[in-house]
Amino acid sequence: MANELFKAFKASDLLDKNINFLIGSGASASYIPTLRINDDKTYEDILTDSDYSEILNYVYHQYYKNILRKSFCLVPPGSLSRKKRRETLTSYEELIENIVSLINRKGANQIRRANIFTTNYDLFFEKASDRLLRESANFIFNDGARGLSKRYLQISNFHTSTWHQGTNDLYKFEIPTINLIKMHGSVSWKKISEDKIEVNYPSDYPDGLELEITTNDIKETVDNIEEHSSKYTAEEVLSLSSEDESALQNFREEYNKLAIVNPTKAKFEETVFQQHYYQSLRLLSYELEKPQTVLVCFGFSFKDEHIREIISRSLSNPSLIVYIFCYKKDDKAEIKKLISNKKIIFIHPDNDDSENVINIDRFINCIFPTIGEDSTEGLVCSL
């Protein structure tokens, strides 16, 4: 199995390629919970359900409190949470360090750059890169923002390279660059106007979002609403005090300043974010149409129809190869229902064993194997 996998894919084969990664929420799943509320409902479901329209401020608060707050990647209370955060951050550091090492080995006539497209809001890539740069790692981390005291997002900033020249200008070499393109936004972004997004990495949670109200948690509330839907509205079941309703309204006003794509089925209504989103889609399309391009996907479900369509169209590029790493065996079949092509190579577990999965650490070790460790055992590589 290992030989079969490495015939199809190994990092050393990428040296002469235009290297792109597509990273989804599965990469951070060991620390940041999924959108699932119970066996039947997700946040996306209820934020799109008209039955919950009267309590949307409460739902967004629960979403922030239970999921989005962790995306700031600040040190949390509780030893277990701190351990999970530390382990996830270490994994991201290892991934970035290996990517930098890979592109640093490119030939002198090749652009030393890799693009990481991600739908995640969290700051693991940023914090991991910051830690590596403090340790004197020699690479450029490009988050797309420019400025000094104020930094603003501009998609054209991803088309840059940085060169180091000797003291007497007798030589020069290109410094490896990692572009991080956050397609669904980030908790570090703030809407300034209809055409401007400020990038600012916070050292604490935004004051306006730190709200405590006395209510049931989201799971219990949803269960109660579903149980009593024939007699009472969601607002009547929740039964908030006027003080809590006012506090939640203030919370929502602050929440709306975040430049993120909300987890609803009508995701792209905000003009300012729609503009950035479609610019990032064009950048993805542009990169995938280049000669000798590879796209490595991990933790991504392919349920975003716009990203999926871009990748599907780009498969007409004769030199493009797409590798999709599946968390568990059944994920391959689910993804193939959404996108399928003979140029897509799936790497997935060979059985349904709950221990045989591809998490972020195994994903890294499959691409950048260490001597004496075989992370490909128990995996299958197939079309």
Residue 347, in any domain of the structure:
no
Residue 46, in any domain of the structure:
no
Mean pLDDT of 46-57: 91
Residue 112, in any domain of the structure:
yes
Residues 6+ apart with CB under 8 A from 81: 31
Number of domains in the chain: 1
SS3 368: coil
Question: Would you state the pLDDT for residue 376?
Answer: 76
pLDDT digits 0-9 by tens, 250-275: 999 999 889 898 888 665 565 557 78
For the ranges 43-57, 284-298, 369-383, the maximum mean pLDDT occurs at 284-298
Tracing tokens 């709950």 back to the chain, one arrives at: 354
Rounded to whole angstroms, how far apart are CA atoms 272 and 255?
A: 15
Q: Is the pLDDT of residue 38 over 50?
A: yes
| Averaged confidence pLDDT in the chain | 89
Query: Of 232, 104, 108, nearest to 176 (Cα)?
Result: 104
Residue 93, in any domain of the structure:
yes
* 8 A C-beta contact, residue 32 and residue 70: yes
Residue 141, in any domain of the structure:
yes
Distances (CA, A) of 293 to 117, 174, 286, 341: 14, 20, 11, 16
More confident residue, 32 or 161: 32
Instruction: Say what the alpha-carbon torsion angle 185, 73, 98, 358 is, to the nearest 10 degrees.
Output: -90
- Name the strands in the sheet holding 344-349, side by side, starting at the edge strand that comes first in the sequence: 140-142, 177-182, 113-118, 18-23, 293-298, 321-325, 344-349, 379-382
Residue 274, in any domain of the structure:
yes
pTM for the predicted model, two decimal places: 0.92
- Bridging pattern class, strands 177-182 and 140-142: parallel
Give the structural domain span for 155: 18-31+75-200+266-291
Residue 306, in any domain of the structure:
no
Residue 109, in any domain of the structure:
yes
**Segment (H or E) for 115:** strand 113-118
**Segment (H or E) for 345:** strand 344-349
Query: Of 181, 185, 153, 143, nearest to 270 (Cα)?
Result: 185
Mean pLDDT of 129-143: 91
Query: Of 71, 74, 171, nearest to 122 (Cα)?
Result: 71
Categorize the per-residue pLDDT at 213 as very low, low, confident or very high, splitting at 50, 70 and 90.
Answer: confident
